[in-house]
C-alpha cells in the first residue's frame, strides 16, 4: 500500500489509467540492476528513482572524473574521486526517499554477475564494453531475466530488449559469429544528450516491463542517429545456432 505522501509524489503517474495505484505499486515492489552508472546509467537511475522503482542495485567500480561531467548528469563536482554508485546514491537521496538504493562498488565479472542479477526483476545494461555486455546477456538468459540494453557512441545510439520471454532473441543473437571491434566513448567521443536520450528510453522500457503495459521493444533494436535525427527499428531474430539462447 502506498502512503498518502507517496500518492502525492507519484500523482502524475497514478492519474494515468494505464498505471493507476496498481501500476505504481508494481513499481514500488520492483527491483532492478543497473550495470554502469556513467552516461546511460545516469539517466536510467534518475528516472527509475524518480518513478518510484522500489529497489535499485547500482553497479560500478569507477570513480567520478572531471571528464565524466559532460554527460553523466547524476554526478556532482563535489563528488569527484568518489565511487560512482555512492555519488549516484547521494543524488537520488535528494530526489526520492521512498526507494532503496544498494551500491555495488565492484567490477561486474562472470564470478558475480549471477549473484546480483538473481536478486532483481530485470537488468539494465548501461555498460561501455562488449565483453561485459555479452556476460550480462548470458547471465540474464540463464536466469530468465529481461534485459534492457543501451549503448551510445559519437552521435549514434542503440536500444534493445532481450530475454523478455522464451521466444525472445538474446543480445548475442545480434552477432553473426564474429564479434564487432570494440569501441568506447573514451577514444571516440560521445554527444552529451545522446546518452540521456538512450538512457531515458531504457528507463521507459523498464517501467513498461515492470507494469506490463504497452508494446515492449522485444527482440528489436532501435537505432538512433542524433546527427540526422533519425530513428529506425530492426527486428532481431532468435538465432537457431546462437551460442547462448539456442536449445541445441
Ligand atoms: Zn541468442
Q: Is 213 exposed, middle or buried (0-12, 13-18, 19+ CB in 10 A)?
A: middle
175 or 180, which is more confident? 175
In a domain, 242, yes or no: no
Average pLDDT, the chain: 95
pLDDT band with cut points at 50, 70 and 90 for residue 177: low
pLDDT at 188: 85
Tell me the C-alpha distance between 149 and 84, whole Å. Answer: 20
In a domain, 20, yes or no: yes
pLDDT tens-digit readout, 152-167:
999 999 999 999 999 9
Q: List the strands of the sheet with 156-162, edge to edge.
A: 100-104, 55-59, 31-35, 122-125, 147-153, 156-162, 220-225, 230-235
Neighbours of ion ligand 1 (CB under 5 A): 170, 172-173, 242, 244-245
In a domain, 246, yes or no: no
In a domain, 248, yes or no: no
Mean pLDDT confidence for 220-245: 96
CATH number of the domain encompassing residue 42: 3.40.50.720
In a domain, 44, yes or no: yes
User: pLDDT at residue 230 above 70?
Assistant: yes
In a domain, 152, yes or no: yes
In a domain, 117, yes or no: yes
Q: What is the 157 CA–ligand 1 centroid distance (Å)?
A: 21
Q: What is the 231 CA–ligand 1 centroid distance (Å)?
A: 24
User: pLDDT at residue 46 above 60?
Assistant: yes
| Total count of domains within the chain | 1
Q: What is the 241 CA–ligand 1 centroid distance (Å)?
A: 8
Tell me the C-alpha distance between 34 and 157, whole Å. Answer: 18
pLDDT at 247: 77
In a domain, 241, yes or no: no
Find the range with the poorest average confidence among 25-29, 122-126, 173-177, 218-222. 173-177
Q: What is the 160 CA–ligand 1 centroid distance (Å)?
A: 13
User: pLDDT at residue 233 above 90?
Assistant: yes
Helix (H, G, I), strand (E, B) or coil at 49: helix
pLDDT band with cut points at 50, 70 and 90 for residue 184: low
Residue with cell 564479434: 179
- Determine the structural domain holding residue 128 and report its residue range: 4-235
pLDDT tens-digit readout, 82-126:
999 999 999 999 999 999 999 999 999 999 999 999 999 999 999
Q: Enumerate the β-bridge partners of residue 223.
A: 158, 232
pLDDT more than 90, % of the chain: 93
Amino acid at each position: 500500500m502506498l502512503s498518502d505522501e507517496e500518492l502525492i509524489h507519484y500523482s502524475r503517474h497514478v492519474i494515468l489509467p494505464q498505471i493507476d495505484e496498481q501500476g505504481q505499486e508494481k513499481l514500488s515492489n520492483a527491483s532492478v540492476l543497473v550495470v554502469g552508472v556513467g552516461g546511460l546509467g545516469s539517466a536510467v537511475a534518475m528516472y527509475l528513482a524518480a518513478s518510484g522503482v522500489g529497489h535499485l542495485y547500482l553497479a560500478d567500480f569507477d570513480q567520478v572524473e572531471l571528464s565524466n561531467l559532460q554527460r553523466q548528469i547524476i554526478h556532482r563536482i563535489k563528488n569527484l574521486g568518489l565511487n560512482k554508485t555512492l555519488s549516484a546514491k547521494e543524488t537520488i537521496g535528494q530526489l526520492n526517499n521512498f526507494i532503496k538504493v544498494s551500491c555495488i562498488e565492484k567490477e561486474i565479472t562472470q564470478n558475480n554477475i549471477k549473484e546480483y542479477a538473481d536478486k532483481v526483476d530485470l537488468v539494465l545494461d548501461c555498460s561501455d564494453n562488449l565483453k561485459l555486455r555479452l556476460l550480462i546477456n548470458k547471465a540474464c538468459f540463464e536466469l530468465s531475466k529481461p534485459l534492457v540494453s543501451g549503448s551510445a557512441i559519437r552521435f549514434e545510439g542503440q536500444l534493445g530488449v532481450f530475454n523478455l520471454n522464451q521466444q525472445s532473441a538474446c543480445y548475442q543473437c545480434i552477432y553473426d559469429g564474429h564479434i564487432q571491434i570494440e569501441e568506447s566513448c573514451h577514444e571516440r567521443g560521445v554527444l552529451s544528450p545522446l546518452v540521456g536520450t538512450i538512457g531515458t528510453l531504457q528507463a521507459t522500457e523498464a517501467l513498461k516491463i515492470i507494469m506490463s503495459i504497452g508494446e515492449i521493444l522485444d527482440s528489436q533494436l532501435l537505432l538512433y542517429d542524433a546527427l540526422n535525427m533519425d530513428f529506425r527499428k530492426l527486428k532481431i531474430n532468435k538465432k537457431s545456432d546462437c551460442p547462448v539462447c539456442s536449445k541445441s
